[in-house]
Amino acid sequence: MKQSIDFGSRVFKIEIVDKLLTDENGGSKKISGSIDAGKCLIQIEKQSDPQSQIVVLWHEIVHHLLGKVGHDGDDFINPKMEEAIVEGLSDGIVMVLRLNPWIGDIK
């Protein structure tokens, strides 16, 4: 996996980290990935399967793209519904790209 991703307006650093936790309801919850637009940073938890890391990367990319058009956060959609949408889109994108690698050959 590369160490950065270019969104055109900004380049985000990609870090593979040993463990990712998020604060939730006064406790910690293990997560697979996170994106911080303010820091231009995507973090992905180290996992045994590189394919899973790619799906997590796409998950965070979809979150960022939804945020770019104002379709993220509690004002737009219920957070659980947003996660379901992001999960479905990221899995679908990875599946289509895996089955049709020529799609990524944009010159």
Of residues 10 and 76, more confidently modeled: 10
* 4 DSSP 8-state letter: E
Model pTM? 0.86
**pLDDT score recorded for residue 71:** 60
**pLDDT score recorded for residue 104:** 80
**pLDDT score recorded for residue 4:** 97
Here the tokens at position 92 are 């679908």
CA 34/CA 56 separation, integer angstroms: 9
CA 21/CA 59 separation, integer angstroms: 17
CB burial class (10 A; 0-12, 13-18, 19+) of residue 57? Answer: buried
Taking only the tens place, the pLDDT of each residue in 17-75 is 999 988 877 778 889 999 999 999 999 999 778 999 999 999 999 999 888 776 655 56
